[in-house]
């Protein structure tokens, strides 16, 4: 008879299982748990700190909004790099309103670039009555009267009586309004803030003359070209002043630039005054020619520098069953340049009224001696051509290749410019347009931008804040039109199909579990 060995493996396992485990003291066990928790907390805090440091130093933002509401224009960013003076912006608006909703993200972007140089205060003029009254008292001590909603921009230098270093932006100017629907179509906050910042951080306010007595005056119910240019000048912190040349011919030394719209009287005395003003380094001139009121004397003045206005009209003529039609409203596009039309290249616009072409001379003796450079700025679309026989009922092109010649209707001229872009020299600058209606109100956004760029360029303000429509945030209202049949289909899906599908799925799951 065989018996199981006394020390077999099975016996050893049973014996080991019956021996009670040695218990770790409770104090040591609690200490190990506490140490483990402490290490986890410390590691969590370190990880949290590292994430915040990396996100602060390597911050990136992607703006996928339709109108780029959270992105500043590159030219605005470049301008903000030049702002060195501390600035305070006080926003006076109703909390939760459209103005605050548009301004908060915009000012956050400004604060990101200006950092500690920008301080922003928000005052709810409807609910924060005490803060609103205190603000009015404080601004009154600086000789500033603020009674309505808007934005007050001031240099934060801590000086009293700083009315000269403040800019006021009324709330009603922050939006372009659709005249028919009376709804905002664009938010202009970036453009107006740029203008205000330039006004409080740069004391320079160049004086520009608007010639009043040797030109043909033209008015429309909305005003005149002077009103348009005055509005542009105010936004650019420029003083535009009327100048009767015949009465004060010696005042040319007081101005940095002159604007001549529709010249029709130009004698030898005026020629001497304009030559002295234009040829002074750093000065400029803007000329808007009226094809219907030619001035041969002024044309000869321009021809001295290589610009020859033509006795023609830029038009498109064609025959119809009702008779010939001549279209003088010219579709043009801006050409790509590093000067006036920078940022406007290939943008289309419309020139109303009549337009004459400009011929550009090249390599004349005067141009070589004075280092004059002429650059075309505008050209019409392919269906337009320059026609000298524009008074005929149906002008036609004599030779097809004439229509293919490039036509220039606006140009820039720079006298005394350095050939090397790295060399900075004070030159004289001029912008000439063969159409004077582009400055007449109501002016289109594209023509407004062109005039803004022209005024800054002739004043040698190449590094300037963009105060035109290129920085506007367009307001889009998206709407989905649903037909009655689609409404019925949606009703059936949401009230019958989807609830029945959920019920069927529940019954299937219940049946599967039961089985």
Interhelix angle 268-278/296-303, rounded to 10 degrees, is 30
pLDDT(139) > 50: yes
- The yes-or-no verdict on residue 494 having pLDDT over 60 is yes
Q: In what order do the strands lie in the sheet with 385-387?
A: 323-327, 313-320, 385-387
Q: How far is Cα 495 from Cα 497, in angstroms, rounded to an integer?
A: 6
- Mean pLDDT (the chain) is 85
For residues 130 and 175, the answer to whether their CB atoms sit within 8 Å is no
Which has the minimum average pLDDT: 127-136, 304-313, 395-404, 451-460? 395-404
Where in the chain is CATH 3.40.50.880?
A: 207-458
Of the candidate CATH numbers 3.40.30.10, 1.25.40.10, 1.10.3720.10, 3.30.56.10, the domain formed by 74-170 belongs to 3.40.30.10
Q: What percent of the chain has pLDDT over 90?
A: 40
The pLDDT, as a whole number, for residue 160 is 47
Give the least confident one: 162-166, 284-288, 394-398, 440-444.
162-166
- In 3D, which of 292, 279, 308 has the Cα closest to residue 430? 279
pLDDT at res. 373: 92
Q: Pick the range with the lowest mean pLDDT from 57-71, 204-218, 416-430.
A: 416-430
Please state the pTM of the whole predicted model: 0.72
- Specify the domain boundaries for CATH 3.40.30.10 within the chain: 74-170
Among 322-331, 457-466, 473-482, the range of highest mean pLDDT: 322-331
Which residue reads 């030394």 in tokens? 253
For domain 207-458, the CATH architecture is: 3-Layer(aba) Sandwich (3.40)
55 or 441, which is more confident: 441
Tokens at 156, concatenated: 């934060």
More confident residue, 106 or 515: 106
């Amino acid at each position: 008879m065989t018996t199981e060995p006394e020390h077999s493996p099975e016996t050893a396992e049973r014996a080991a299982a019956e021996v009670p485990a040695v218990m770790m003291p409770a104090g040591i066990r609690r200490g190990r748990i506490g140490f483990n928790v402490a290490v986890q907390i410390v590691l969590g805090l370190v990880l949290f700190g590292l994430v915040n440091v990396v996100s602060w130093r390597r911050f990136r933002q992607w703006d996928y909004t339709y109108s780029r509401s959270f992105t500043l224009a590159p030219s605005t960013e470049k301008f903000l790099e030049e702002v060195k003076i501390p600035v305070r912006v006080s926003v006076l608006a109703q909390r939760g309103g459209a103005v605050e909703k548009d301004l908060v993200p915009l000012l956050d972007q400004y604060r990101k670039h200006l950092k500690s140089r920008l301080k922003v205060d928000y005052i709810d003029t409807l609910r924060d009555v005490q803060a609103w009254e205190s603000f009015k008292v404080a601004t009154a001590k600086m000789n500033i009267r603020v009674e309505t909603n808007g934005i007050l921009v001031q240099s934060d230098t801590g000086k009293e009586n700083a009315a000269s270093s403040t800019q006021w932006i009324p709330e009603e100017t922050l939006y372009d309004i659709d005249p028919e629907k009376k709804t905002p179509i664009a938010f202009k906050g970036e453009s107006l803030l740029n203008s205000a910042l330039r006004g409080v951080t740069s004391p320079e306010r160049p004086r520009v003359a608007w010639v009043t007595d040797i030109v043909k005056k033209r008015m429309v119910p909305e005003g005149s070209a002077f009103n348009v240019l005055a509005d542009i000048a105010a936004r650019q912190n420029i003083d535009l002043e009327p100048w009767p040349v015949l009465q004060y011919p010696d005042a040319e030394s007081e101005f940095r630039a002159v604007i001549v719209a529709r010249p029709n009287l130009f004698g030898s005395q005026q020629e001497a005054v304009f030559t002295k003003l234009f040829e002074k380094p750093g000065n400029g001139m803007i000329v808007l020619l009226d094809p219907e009121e030619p001035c041969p004397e002024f044309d000869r003045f321009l021809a001295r520098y290589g610009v020859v206005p033509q006795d023609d009209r830029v038009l498109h003529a064609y025959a119809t069953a009702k008779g010939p039609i001549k279209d003088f409203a010219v579709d043009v596009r801006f050409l790509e340049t590093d000067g006036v039309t920078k940022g406007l290249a290939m943008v289309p616009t419309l020139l109303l009224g009549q337009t004459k072409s400009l011929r550009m001379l090249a390599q004349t003796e005067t141009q070589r001696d004075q280092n004059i450079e002429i650059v075309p700025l505008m050209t019409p679309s392919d269906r337009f051509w320059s026609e000298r026989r524009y008074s005929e009922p149906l002008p036609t092109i004599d030779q097809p290749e004439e229509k293919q010649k490039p036509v220039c209707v606006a140009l820039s001229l720079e006298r005394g410019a350095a050939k090397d872009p790295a060399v900075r020299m004070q030159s004289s600058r001029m912008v000439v347009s063969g159409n004077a209606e582009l400055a007449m109100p109501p002016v289109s956004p594209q023509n407004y931008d062109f005039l803004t760029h022209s005024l800054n360029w002739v004043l040698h303000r190449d590094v300037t804040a963009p105060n035109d429509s290129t920085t506007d945030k367009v307001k889009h209202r998206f709407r989905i039109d649903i037909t009655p049949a689609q409404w019925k289909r949606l009703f059936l899906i949401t009230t019958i199909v989807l609830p029945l599908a959920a019920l069927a799925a529940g019954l299937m799951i219940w049946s599967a579990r039961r089985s």
